Amino acid sequence: MGRRKAEWTLLAPLGELPEGRVLEEVGRSIERRERLHRERTLPKRASQSHADLLREVLEKVRGAEGVLAFQVDGGGTLGRRVGERGSSVLVAAGAHAERSVYVVRYERARLHESGAGFNFTWELRGELCENPEARKELEVLEGRVLRRFPALREVLGLGEMEDPPTFTGFVGAVERGCLLFPVNVFGECRWVLVGTVSFPLQTAYSEKGIKGLEDEALVRLLRHEPSLEPLSPEVLAALVRGRGGPNEAARILAMARLRGL
């Protein structure tokens, strides 16, 4: 069984949902496709319309800034002949900058050999830059981040006055004390800026994880990062708490990086 997809791009004022008539129209289109299937259909309540389900999904990716993604699906069943049956999937991503752009995808997708369904939010996030409307919002988000944190230009290989021609990397950033973690379109943090110098992270941390960790837990996490290893636990803890000297720490790390070349 191959993947059969249908996709819609829905526009709304920033932080709002698309108009009700638009949701009704897309909901009816999803319903027509769902009628072709009896098993593992979307988890809709008996009294709920597909437009209502769509609205619930879009509420999960509604925002005033940034990129969000969410999925509902018909799930899988262990022990079934999964090669012959698929599952309905409804996945949505919201890109929010000057407007709210929602990309909605419905499909019947093959299940994992274990019988479980796949998560397609990652795939849809990665394809947002190919959608003309969503890409406009990504470019605005990146422009805001680069203006606020010019040191991120180093990560993107840009000069001080150079602007990226199109979206190339970041949609946000998380500040933890003296450290800055840029966030990519997948909601990941793969770099850390110490002062004005960027260092790669061996592990891709989620934006929510970096935001939500207590200071002590974040220090323990970062102590295992090879690029930050030259810093003592005390210095690292001071940076996370906003009490350290980021420029001196960056100098120590840069010297260690040069010695390792």
pLDDT digits (tens, 9 = 90+) for 67-115: 999 999 987 655 555 445 688 999 999 999 999 999 999 998 877 776 6
Which range of residues forms the domain containing residue 229?
A: 149-260
The reply to whether 184 and 124 lie within a common domain is no
State pTM to two decimals: 0.89
Cβ–Cβ under 8 Å, residues 76 and 111: yes
Within 10 angstroms of residue 180's Cβ, the number of other Cβ atoms is 23
Which pLDDT value is given to residue 259?
80
Residue 114: what pLDDT? 67
pLDDT at 3: 61
CB neighbourhood size of 30 (10 A) = 23
127 and 9 within one domain: yes
Q: Answer yes or no: is 139 within a domain.
A: no
The pLDDT assigned to 183 comes to 97
Query: Could you tell me if 247 and 198 lie in one domain?
Result: yes
Q: Is 257 helix (H, G, I), strand (E, B) or coil?
A: helix
What is the average per-residue pLDDT within 33-45? 88
Per-residue pLDDT, averaged over 221-238, amounts to: 95
**Domain for residue 140, yes or no?**
no
Task: In whole angstroms, give the CA distance from residue 198 to residue 195.
Answer: 8
Average pLDDT estimate for 150-173? 83
pLDDT at residue number 115: 67
- pLDDT for residue 2 is more than 60: no
> Is 119 among the domain residues?
yes
* Residue 149, phi then psi, degrees to nearest 5: -130, 80
- pLDDT in the model for residue 164: 78
Residue 29 phi, psi dihedral angles, 5° rounding: -65, -40
pLDDT, residue 184, reads 96
Q: What is the pLDDT of residue 117?
A: 73
Q: What is the pLDDT of residue 77?
A: 55
Strand partners of residue 95: 67, 101
CA distance 253 to 68: 33
Q: Are residues 122 and 169 in the same domain?
A: no
Q: Is residue 177 part of a domain?
A: yes
Domain contains 14: yes
Looking at the fold, whether 77 and 190 belong to one and the same domain comes out as: no
Helix locations, the chain, DSSP H: 20-34, 50-60, 121-127, 132-148, 153-156, 207-212, 215-222, 233-240, 246-260
12-16, 54-58, 79-83, 132-136: the lowest-pLDDT one: 79-83
Position 40 pLDDT exceeds 90:
no
Same domain as 77, residue 169: no
Average confidence (pLDDT) over 221-234: 95
197 falls within a domain: yes
Q: How many domains does the chain have?
A: 2
The verdict on 244 and 195 lying in the same domain is yes
Q: For residue range 200-217, list pLDDT tens digits in order.
A: 999 999 999 999 999 999
* Cα dihedral 242→233→245→203 (10° resolution): -70
What percent of the chain clears pLDDT 70, i.e. is strictly above it? Answer: 93
Q: Within this chain, do residues 16 and 112 fall inside the same structural domain, yes or no?
A: yes
What token pair was written down for 62?
A: 């509604």
Average pLDDT over residues 250-254: 90
